[in-house]
Amino acid sequence: MKTVQAYRFALDLTPAQERALLGHAGAARKAHNWALARVKAVMDQRAAERTYGIPDEQLTPSLSWSLPALRRAWNTAKPEVAPWWADYSKEAYNTGLDSLARGLKNWSDSRTGKRAGRKAGFPRFKGKHRTTPSVRFTTGTIRVE
């Protein structure tokens, strides 16, 4: 049996550190919202094409919702989508893309009956004032200076 232990820390941040941390959370939100908009656009396009009677093999190609696929798409588009991308950690963007990949998988599994419990809703866009700012740093040593 494997035991996983987590720790939660309260940070006493200076105003500059708080702005930097919120910037990382904003970067995660930007990546999440960008990828969600892409997924929704393709889904809506395919639905519209189906109403015109276009056969499935001729529909707009679907997108992969896996984290690696979303990451590849983000890395290709980030210079145009977020020209300030280098100011923040790659882990911040990964946080947003990971949350979207998990949400899409839960929604899909819920619709097909692979997921027990209540039906999961389709992922939503994250708003600056509507969601709690969050970011995960999962690699390397974390220091707050």
pLDDT at position 110 = 92
Task: Enumerate long-range contacts of 109-113, CB under 8 Å, 24 or more apart.
Answer: none
Q: Could you tell me the pLDDT band of residue 112, with boundaries at 50, 70 and 90? A: confident
Q: Note the helical H segments in 52-125.
A: 67-81, 90-112
Is the pLDDT confidence value at 141 over 70?
no
pLDDT at position 24 = 94
